[in-house]
Structure 1
Amino acid sequence: MSRLNGKTAVITGGATGIGLAAAKRFIDEGAFVFLFARRQDKLDAAVAELGPNARAVKGSVSDLADLDRLYATVKAERGTVDIVFANAGAGSQLALGKITPEHIDETFDTNIKGSIFTAQKALPLMGKGGSIILTGSSAGTTGAPAMSAYSASKAGVRNLAKTWAEDLKGTGIRVNVLSPASTLTDLAKEALGEEGVKTFGAMNPLQRMADPAEIGAAAAFLASPDSSYMTASELAVDGGLAQL
């Protein structure tokens, strides 16, 4: 397929998991991809796997100077950006009664502040036909025990797309949310173990966790002209978890 032929994409949190799976799919469909993440070793491994149509920039989405450096690199090498996949995310469990300001800051700095400035700083390089994709979560709809900050931040991400669709009227730039549920990344396998994977998989009607490639395929759809009449939408790729 070549739905993304000649397009330039930026993927944050792109060195592993969903971000890396999306990068593979984007490149398979003809895109040139810039990966942005905090760990240089993971970025180096990802670029080695992805090949010549991938570049890596180290940095944090919560650091505006890092984002400026990312887009300066993109502009110098490619000139414009067609696709922004704001995928970097953070979340951990703390039940009500134990939530700390530090926990709130860590979650919202990445999921809300990071998403806002990843998109906003890309705008001068984007034009008609551009696609902004924000990573939401089924937790933004359903909630989850001890995940107040994460769930609230992902509900906020959902509203960003609705608001920005209004702000971007007349630009030809679309913005949508991709909302997965539990996904079988290497990190998830390590954190959950075999029994945990079974438990999380059993929570949805399809009775399994998502393969990262399935989420990457959905991201490619939102990035491509096949979704040209979609904006302000949420695409749930969650095995039905938040749909029942």
Structure 2
Amino acid sequence: MTLRTAIVTGGSKGIGFSISKKFLQAGWRVLSCARTASDELKSLQAENPSIKFHTMDVQKRDDHTKAIEEALTWSGSFNTYINCAGFSQWKKLEDYDDLFLNRIFDTNIKGVIWGCQAAAVHLSNEGTIINISSLAGKRGSAQNGAYCASKFAVNGITQSLAKELGPKNIRVNAVCPVYVKTPSVLEALEDDISPAQGKNVDCYLEEFTHQQTALKRLPTGEEVGSTCVFLASSEASAITGQCINVDCGVLPQ
């Protein structure tokens, strides 16, 4: 039986790495894509021939097609495309400039569009696209307008493409996590204009967890990965066009 293959952009670290591991554990082959390979990914690849690193920049349209071609050459199959690569930074409106906006929009919006476009050409019947969005794609927050705009866009892209690609039996969904304790999130929260506002980051997250979550904890990258594995499986064959919160009950819907 031909193994199923997942392509994960931003798959070298953080949530993307957790997603890559979860697909690997579920018996998939995984092409984990990023600009550079993390030490964790290199170690995992050395232990398991079913995961492979591929260099790409999601802002470059052709890189998405090259990733798919690499997956097909390597494993002979391609079944799901996961747009996980992203960029976030809190910034006051008065401090926006072209460099900042271009980096957010080229990564978070164009990067997702190029991934969906390339995947739609190559995915066969029952293929899936999963876009990693954010709870910030459903509600705004201070000093976060550009990032929120980009993730609102991801949710709109997801819903629109579910309708457009549905006749080809290609399902498109998004996953919307709240804070996941990755190194990049913890570093970003150190900024004085982040919601932590200069507080100790651990104390801020503890307070947020107590006040905002229903389950009194934050989700893990592994839980985001498990949601993606489910959405890519036949068990989710009737689910498309959904933007699913993985937020421990911060925003019940």
Return the TM-score normalized by structure 1.
0.91
Identity %: 30
How many pairs were matched up?
A: 239
| Structure 2 portions without partners, runs of 5+ | 190-200
Greater CA drift, 13-22 or 182-191: 182-191
Matched, 1:19 2:16: yes
**What residue in structure 2 maps to residue 72 of structure 1?**
69
Question: Following TM superposition, by how much is the alpha carbon of 1:174 offset from its aligned partner in structure 2, in angstroms?
Answer: 0.2
**What residue in structure 2 maps to residue 47 of structure 1?**
45
Distance 1:56 1:30, change over 3 A: same
2:4·2:77 contact (CA, 8 Å) conserved in 1?
Answer: no
1:84·1:133 contact (CA, 8 Å) conserved in 2?
Answer: yes
Matched, 1:201 2:198: no
1:107·1:153 contact (CA, 8 Å) conserved in 2?
Answer: yes
* Counterpart Cα distance in 1 of 2:62 and 2:242: 30
Matched, 1:106 2:103: yes
| Structure 1 portions without partners, runs of 5+ | none
Matched, 1:10 2:7: yes
Matched, 1:142 2:151: no
Matched, 1:212 2:221: yes
Q: 1:176 aligns with which of 173, 176, 194?
A: 173
1:37·1:58 contact (CA, 8 Å) conserved in 2?
Answer: yes
* Counterpart Cα distance in 2 of 1:86 and 1:58: 15
Q: 2:237 aligns with which of 216, 221, 228?
A: 228
Question: Following TM superposition, by how much is the alpha carbon of 1:190 offset from its aligned partner in structure 2, in angstroms?
Answer: 5.0
**What residue in structure 1 maps to residue 196 of structure 2?**
none
* Counterpart Cα distance in 1 of 2:188 and 2:98: 25
* Counterpart Cα distance in 2 of 1:96 and 1:191: 17
Question: Following TM superposition, by how much is the alpha carbon of 1:106 offset from its aligned partner in structure 2, in angstroms?
Answer: 0.6
1:189·1:197 contact (CA, 8 Å) conserved in 2?
Answer: no
Question: Following TM superposition, by how much is the alpha carbon of 1:211 offset from its aligned partner in structure 2, in angstroms?
Answer: 1.4
Partner SS for 2:110: helix
Question: Following TM superposition, by how much is the alpha carbon of 1:229 offset from its aligned partner in structure 2, in angstroms?
Answer: 0.1
**What residue in structure 1 maps to residue 124 of structure 2?**
127
Distance 1:6 1:85, change over 3 A: same
Amino acid at match of 1:48: A
* Counterpart Cα distance in 2 of 1:191 and 1:134: 22
Matched, 1:165 2:162: yes
Return the TM-score normalized by structure 2.
0.88
Greater CA drift, 202-211 or 111-120: 202-211
**What residue in structure 2 maps to residue 88 of structure 1?**
85
* Counterpart Cα distance in 2 of 1:180 and 1:189: 15
**What residue in structure 2 maps to residue 58 of structure 1?**
55
Distance 1:108 1:119, change over 3 A: same
Question: Following TM superposition, by how much is the alpha carbon of 1:222 offset from its aligned partner in structure 2, in angstroms?
Answer: 0.7
Partner SS for 1:40: coil
Q: 1:31 aligns with which of 28, 31, 49?
A: 28
Question: Following TM superposition, by how much is the alpha carbon of 1:34 offset from its aligned partner in structure 2, in angstroms?
Answer: 0.3
Question: Following TM superposition, by how much is the alpha carbon of 1:40 offset from its aligned partner in structure 2, in angstroms?
Answer: 3.0
* Counterpart Cα distance in 2 of 1:200 and 1:116: 32
1:36·1:58 contact (CA, 8 Å) conserved in 2?
Answer: yes
